[in-house]
Amino acid sequence: MSDATRIVGLEEHVVLPVLLEAWTLAGVPQISQLGYGDEPFAQRLRDVSDRRLADMDDQGIDVQVLSLATPGVQNLSTEDSVTVAREANDALAEIVDGNPERFQALAAIPTPAPEAAAEELERAVTQLGFRGAMLYGRTGDTLADAPEFDHLYATAERLRVPLHFHPQTPVPAVMEAYYSGLGRTGRGLATAGLGGYYDLGVQYLRMIFSGVFDRHPELQVIAGHWGEVVLFYVDHTGILASSANLERPLVDYFRENFWVTGSGTVSERYLRWTSEVVGTDRMMYSTDYPYTYATSPDGYAFLDTSNGVGRTFLEQAPFTEEEKAAIGSGNWEQLTGHVVASHAERSVPLRVRPADTSPHLKSSILITGANKGLGREAARRLLASGHDVWIGARDPERGREAAEALGARYVAIDVTDDASVAQAAEEVAAATGGTLDVLINNAGIPSTYGLDVADVTASEVEAVYAVNVFGAVRTFHAFLPLLRRAPNGVVVNVSSGLGSHAVTSDPERIESTFQQPGYTSSKAALNMLTAQWAAALPGLRINSVDPGYTATEFNGHSGPQTVQEGTDAIVTMATIGPDGPTGTFADRHGTVGW
Ligand code: NAP
């Protein structure tokens, strides 16, 4: 194998201060295997600089794809898992940014909150540039094939990023029934010896048999430990394919939906068997650092990748040079290279620190026009992240229905009416103690569709401005005292690419094909309000966002984007921290020209 062949290790663990803090609060045992204390092993797990790089050089590994040690955030409470995952991913992104030649990362995913899990995956991939995520099998008693994870799996499928699964300790009943009575050896047998691999392997089979891959045929899973035992029994278990009504023979799921690595178990027997079952074009590489670093009790030969073994094991594999290069890094690039390319295309990535980085902080957020469309979806997403959301709507019936369905609060607000807006501000102030953290000026109406420019009258434009411009001014004015009292007041003005001269004059953009003087100029005016307010009020973060052309009632559902995509920029700008931007105009890909 050529010296230049890159080896990327996909299962290389780390623990971060935020994770240790959260685990401590959750009562997790403070043992060195989880990164507590001063033993060299725990120090290795925590280190993300010189010591780790020296160990990688010693192993012969070029790049580590960092992931949290098991079980990541999957043993935290619903609320904490969301905030800790987000904070951990931001920290991982910073580590990668500091040394992109040697580090990549797999995102932490808050599976205790399945909807927020899908959102965090999307944020990690589209905004932080992660190439996939690391999951840890069960979440409490809920196994990986549970239907509540369908949205997460659909999101991974849509983003075309793999989900790496990692074993964790089996549930207490299994521990007791199968591994008790053997003392320390029993605990080892239940976890890193064998039990954790069976536990995860059975969950892979459950995912296949329950139809996860039939519903998500493009979903790609990375399995470590040479296929978590079940790969070795596939010629036997395959007999269940017909009783499970599988759409394909069992082995085809492993060949089409799985990628297999060895996790630092340097056994050539396993390597050969894996290549026979799934082929070298479905194999990748990992060392399970630091769990297989300098760990060879009594000279045991199969679990130590130090002293160059991480590299020589692959170099001496019985494959062609091309196959070894593919396993080392080529297959990984082929699977995930598109994420790097699309991330690099973004001029200014929306990488901003979310305001809610503490497990116990939540923002109060008012969204106008939130009974349907983008406002309602933004409300759903922000609620899923643990925030306190007010659905603002002019129609009480529609507003209450949306608030009840989502578990939000409702406030009546017609943005064209002084008394209604003043009353809404009073109501919110009374409930929050006089503050509001985030105002999202989302209510908006379109121009009359199909009207010839020559027939556009002042009253037609006035009607559009009444909501899109004066409505935003009225709401901002009434809520400004509340925003000023918040520790980190944020305003998001939901504008449009149609309000940007840069966008509408670009013949490549669909926005250049619309001529609607009323609507386009109303959003241009809203952008200038953003710029003026931001310049005058440096204590607040005030930004315009363009959702992009999105299927809602607004356009007869003609937009190509989903409401989830359409709310990416809104949600991101609503959750920026005190060091976030102000006076900017952004869409889900980055900066928009004025
Ligand atoms: P939508 O589904 O039509 O929702 C608009 C919302 O605004 C509705 O809740 C509507 O309430 C509310 N609204 C209208 N007039 C109001 C008033 N006087 N007071 C309070 N609320 C009022 O449209 P959407 O697509 O979600 O659009 C949301 C925002 O995104 C708008 O500002 C729009 O300009 C902007 N935008 C949309 C797209 C897109 O492609 N969809 C693209 C760029 C920008 P009712 O249900 O009572 O009418």
Mutate to test the pocket of ligand 1, among 380, 394, 464, 519 (most ligand atoms within 8 A of CB): 394
- Whole-model pTM over 0.75: no
Of 366, 367, 368, 372, best ligand 1 pocket probe by most atoms within 8 Å of the beta carbon: 372
Residues framing ligand 1 (Cβ under 6 A): 368-369, 371-375, 393-395, 398, 413-416, 442-445, 467, 471, 494, 496, 546-547, 549-550, 552-555, 559
**pLDDT at 136 (0 to 100):** 98
Q: If you measure from the C-alpha of residue 128 to the centroid of ligand 1, how many angstroms do you get, rounded to a whole number?
A: 29
Q: Dump pLDDT digits (tens) for 446-493.
A: 999 888 999 999 999 999 999 999 999 999 999 999 999 988 899 999
Q: Nearest C-alpha to atom 34 of ligand 1 is from which residue?
A: 444
pLDDT at 269: 96
CA of 442 from ligand 1 middle (Å) equals 6
User: pLDDT class for 1, splitting at 50, 70, 90?
Assistant: very low
Give me ligand 1 centre to Cα 39, in Å.
Answer: 58
Contacts of 9 (CB under 8 A, 6+ apart): 56, 59, 61, 63, 64, 65, 285, 286, 287, 289, 310
| Structure-derived torsion over alpha carbons of residues 202, 204, 207, 209, reported in degrees to the nearest 10 | -60
Would you put residue 405 in left (φ > 0), alpha (ψ -120 to 50) or beta? alpha
H-run or E-run covering 458: helix 458-468
For residue 346, the model assigns a pLDDT of: 44
Domains and CATH numbers, the chain: 8-338 (3.20.20.140), 353-591 (3.40.50.720)
Structure tokens at 559: 């937009």
Instruction: Check whether 297 has a pLDDT greater than 80.
Output: no
Other C-beta atoms within 10 Å of 162: how many? Answer: 24
Rounded distance, CA 60 to CA 362, Å? 45
CA-443 nearest atom, ligand 1: 7
**Torsion angles phi and psi, residue 461, rounded to 5:** -65, -40
- pLDDT band with cut points at 50, 70 and 90 for residue 359: very low
Q: Which pLDDT score is estimated for 356?
A: 37
**For the residues 285-292, what does the mean pLDDT come to?**
97
Residue 349 pLDDT exceeds 80: no
Residue 73: how many other CB atoms lie within 10 Å:
32
Q: How far is the CA of 210 from the centre of ligand 1 (A)?
A: 40
Cα 467 to averaged position of ligand 1 atoms, centre (Å): 9
The pLDDT tens digits for 169-190 are: 999 999 999 999 999 999 999 9
Strand, coil or helix: 300: coil
**Is the pLDDT score of 256 beyond 50?**
yes
Q: Cβ–Cβ contacts within 10 Å for residue 184, how many? A: 7
Query: Tens digit of pLDDT for each residue in 191-249?
Result: 999 999 999 999 999 999 999 999 999 999 999 999 999 999 999 999 999 999 999 99
Name the residue of 442, 475, 479 whose CB sits within 8 Å of the most ligand 1 atoms, as the mutation to test its pocket.
442
Residue type at 304? D
* Banded pLDDT at 111 (limits 50, 70, 90): very high
**Which residue has a Cα nearest atom 44 of ligand 1?**
496
What mean pLDDT, rounded, does the chain reach? 93
- Quickly state the pLDDT bin for 152 (edges 50, 70, 90): very high
User: Counting atoms of ligand 1 from 1, which one is nearest the CA of 441?
Assistant: 32
Q: What is the pLDDT of residue 357?
A: 37
Please give the positions annotated as active site.
288
Residue 96 CA to residue 129 CA, distance in Å, equals: 10
Segment 544-571, tens digit of pLDDT: 999 999 999 999 998 899 999 999 999 9
Distance (angstroms) between ligand 1 centre and the Cα of 359 equals 32
Q: Beta-carbon neighbour count of residue 425 at 10 Å?
A: 21
Which ligand 1 atom lies nearest to the CA of residue 468?
Answer: 32
Nearest CA to ligand 1 atom 12: 369
Name the percent of the chain lying above pLDDT 90.
88
- Strands (E) located in 399-521: 409-412, 438-441, 490-494
Residue 347 token pair: 């001029």
Give me the pLDDT at residue 400, please.
97
